Structure 1
Amino acid sequence: MTKTGSEIIKAIEMAWAAIQRKHKDVPDVVAVTGAGFHGKNPKWAHFWPGRWLKDEEGTERTPVNIIQQHLAGKPELFVSGELLGLPGRRIMQTLLHEAAHGLNHARDQHGTNINGRHNRVFVKAANELGLIWPEGKAPHKSIGFSQVEITDKTAARYEKVIEKLEAARLAYLAEGRRFENGDPGMTGGDGGEGGDGGDGGAPKRGKGARGGSRGGKRIYVTCECDEPDPFPITPGRLERGAIICGDCDAAFCARDEDDE
């Protein structure tokens, strides 16, 4: 019996704690790892709020209590085994990306929209953590401003942590080496705020706002940005509550049928 798995998690927890020492608003997480490239939605990592629950002694497991547990639950930090095969600086970049989602969550901000498109609210948090959006680069049509990059100054601040991540590479999944410089179909960091569509990897296809299969009626909604990014949702989802754009702070509403 080896301790390879536990040592890998220990290294991830060490790096996350180093981020928290510099940025107090970054929340505690439950760190896990595994295969990130299986299935149709490859991901380097994700941040999933409320993923891990804890039963309070004597608390009955009613639907209301379970919802309350999710609201108070700890986020999950998933780091793919494929990412662990990349250089330590690249691993650190992804951890800082997920920490940016953590800041958005802690501050009750929406850094991604319902389809997982990263917006400027996310970029602002990423900047705070030492990541930048490359100057002159256009946002990806599906994942937006996801592919923020670590700066040399930030890498120097975490030099010792990066060295420890390199030393902790006891095992990894080889598939990630093919995408070391990024894949246009994947988020650069990756992750978002929901655990699936908004949380790492290529945006999911064939899923509605409630996770159901495509096939029901969908309407396109848009915001007030100069270059809006319309997306389809069910009318019922739009009626349940406003969806706010992180760029223009306007609520998404049904666009005109004549819009392209």
Structure 2
Amino acid sequence: MNDLTLFTDTTPVVTAAPSADGATAPVVHGAVIISAVETAWREIRCRFVGVPDISVTVPPAAGAQDPTKCTALRTGRRFKRDGRLTMELQVSSGTLGVGGRPLMEGLLHHAAHGLALTRDITDVSGGDRRWHNKRYGRLAREVGLTVPARAARVVGLGRCPLSDTEAAKWAEVIAALDAAAGVQLEATVEAVAPPRSGRSGARFAIVCECTPPRRQQVTPHFYEQGPLLCGLCLAKFRPADTVVVPAQTSGKNA
């Protein structure tokens, strides 16, 4: 088994934890999310010399960021680990849930930031450091992203899509990320689905990643039919009782 098949033949990662009434139920860990991103990042580093190592952290659900924005992945923290330059990537179940190709695009976006870091290139500016300049555009093109002809408001050249041709080069990695998302969703549903009883409509609470989270009640059958997206934070609703590994204290967003 190689790294890229890690998530194609695995089962949900769950363990037993006591519930409020003393019974036990499976609880999902952040290991699936972290392992999926680390696996994809290793492949990126193999293909692009100079991309630094990463330390993946998972934010608390209440403070999770919009997975469609640059800062939803990269916190800007950097440090030395075992003598090697390392930058922090912060991901959540919502980030993984956007799909393998969008997540691959996001990881390549941050790989370009990583090249800027190792080469001592200033690739972002502005008070909130969200403006991606022409130097970032050159690095994004180097890792295979398509740089827009014109800079966008606020983010500059930050929105660089992954073309179909380039996505095909990452097909195996994207498939592994999609498989990991499936494992995470299956384990989450298994962890919180109420036991079947005479009431087929037994409901449980789901929340999004807004601050504070929006909350609603759904039946297990309704939840399992497909992902439910919040119209504000654009993240998938998840069961309210899902356990999320706390993140390290983040520095200033980049």
* Aligned residues of 2:145 and 2:161 also touching (Cα < 8 A): yes
Matched residue, 1:196? 252
Distance 1:102-1:28 versus aligned 2 partners, 3 A rule: same
C-alpha distance in structure 2 between counterparts of 1:37 and 1:119, whole Å: 32
Matched residue, 2:124? 112
Distance 1:82-1:39 versus aligned 2 partners, 3 A rule: closer
Distance 1:10-1:80 versus aligned 2 partners, 3 A rule: same
C-alpha distance in structure 1 between counterparts of 2:109 and 2:135, whole Å: 13
Matched residue, 1:133? 147
C-alpha distance in structure 2 between counterparts of 1:118 and 1:21, whole Å: 25
Query: TM-score by structure 1 length?
Result: 0.56
Distance 1:84-1:40 versus aligned 2 partners, 3 A rule: closer
Say whether residues 1:48 and 2:48 are aligned partners.
Answer: no
C-alpha distance in structure 1 between counterparts of 2:60 and 2:133, whole Å: 27
Name whichever structure is richer in strand by fraction: 2
- Match for 1:123: what amino acid? G
* Aligned residues of 2:52 and 2:85 also touching (Cα < 8 A): no
Say whether residues 1:26 and 2:51 are aligned partners.
Answer: yes
Which SS does the other structure have where 2:40 is aligned? helix
* Aligned residues of 2:33 and 2:92 also touching (Cα < 8 A): no
C-alpha distance in structure 2 between counterparts of 1:40 and 1:164, whole Å: 23
Distance 1:134-1:12 versus aligned 2 partners, 3 A rule: same
Which SS does the other structure have where 1:96 is aligned? helix
Matched residue, 2:177? 165
Residue identity over aligned pairs, in percent, reads 29
Q: How many residues align?
A: 168
Report the Cα offset of residue 47 of structure 1.
5.2
- Match for 1:125: what amino acid? L
Instruction: Write the deviation string for residues 87-121 of structure 1: whole angstroms up to 9, x where unpaired.
Output: 21001010000111000001000110143111011
Say whether residues 1:83 and 2:95 are aligned partners.
Answer: yes
Distance 1:40-1:32 versus aligned 2 partners, 3 A rule: closer
* Structure 2: segments with no counterpart, 5+ residues: 1-14, 16-26, 189-206, 211-228, 236-249
Query: TM-score by structure 2 length?
Result: 0.57
Report the Cα offset of residue 145 of structure 1.
1.2
What is the alpha-carbon root mean square deviation over aligned residues? 3.2
* Structure 1: segments with no counterpart, 5+ residues: 55-68, 182-193, 200-260
Match of 2:138 among 106, 110, 124: 124
Distance 1:111-1:80 versus aligned 2 partners, 3 A rule: farther
